[in-house]
Amino acid sequence: MTEPTRVLFVCLGNICRSPAAEGVFLHLLAQRQLEDQFVVDSAGTGGWHTGRPADRRMQAAAAQRGLTLTSRARQLQLADLTSFDHILTMDDDNLAQVRGLSGELGSRADLARIEPLTRYCREHQAEAVPDPYYGGPEGFDRVLDLLFDACLGLVEHLRPSP
Ligand code: 4NP
């Protein structure tokens, strides 16, 4: 049995984008019967919402696509940078924060690979998954459109070869 691949999605508050990314990625893994081969989690660079479920608007938009979001918000920890294999960020601010934190660890061999999730989009041209928190419902749908595209690309990239 090989070790599972550990994947962490990171946004700002861990109540909108990264819990949805976690839910979408888990859904795609389940469809492919790959759940056993991955450990999936999400975190926020900020800690204001620690312990809270995903934002109701994000939950509602996800439910429209058959997803249930079960995660509780937590703040990113320094230890996450070495306990996960891959950290996927939603926007430039998240990326800079995570890279800044990783700078505290120097160039350790066990550091996660840190990259923007939109790098894995194949249909959409997007530099970021935009923060939907202060906008209308269409922003949450846009988040899910980008997440489905990028997470599909990510699953295909990370799935073990047969
Ligand atoms: P998220 O969205 O980073 O996608 O979870 C946000 C959630 C909360 C806040 C900002 C963005 N906030 O300012 O509280």
What are the tens digits of pLDDT across the range 74-129?
A: 999 999 999 999 999 999 999 999 999 999 988 888 999 999 999 999 999 999 99
What is the chain's length? 162
Cβ of residue 14 lying under 6 Å from some atom of ligand 1: yes
Indicate which atom in ligand 1 lies nearest the CA of residue 19. 5
Q: How far apart are CA 157 and CA 97, in angstroms?
A: 25
pTM across the whole model: 0.97
Percent of the chain with pLDDT over 90: 93
pLDDT of residue 84: 98
Cβ of residue 86 lying under 6 Å from some atom of ligand 1: no
Report H helices in the chain.
17-31, 56-64, 80-83, 92-103, 137-158
Cβ of residue 54 lying under 6 Å from some atom of ligand 1: no
